[in-house]
Amino acid sequence: MAERITDETIEYVGILAKLELSDEEKEQAKKDMTNMLNYIDKLNELDTDGVEPMSHVFPVNNVFREDVVTNGDERERILANAPAKKDGSFKVPKTVE
């Protein structure tokens, strides 16, 4: 079988996911992804003509909330999860466009 996941693909996916992978990790990821694609191929053996693509397992539609404020100021609890904080904000590395 032709190589389904090329080195370039792994490189590209790594960039998109912001991951720096070692050569060994790249090889492993290539194998894993190839296995996943092969597994998906199994599903292609089924005849799905006339079957609508499904996005949810349950046949549920229209789950809504009314437009009413239910949350108060939870800043301290929210910021308790921040790796770094300052002045009531999440602190992150300098980011400018």
Q: Which residues bind other proteins (CB under 8 A)?
A: 12, 15-16, 18, 55-56, 58, 60-71, 73-75, 78-79, 81, 84, 86-97
Query: Shortest Cβ distance from residue 54 to other proteins (Å)?
Result: 9
Q: Which residues pair with 85 in a beta bridge?
A: 90
Q: What number of residues does the chain have?
A: 97
Query: Shortest Cβ distance from residue 97 to other proteins (Å)?
Result: 6
Give the separation between CA 37 and CA 41, rounded to whole angstroms: 6
90 neighbors 82 (Cβ within 8 angstroms): yes
Query: Shortest Cβ distance from residue 34 to other proteins (Å)?
Result: 19
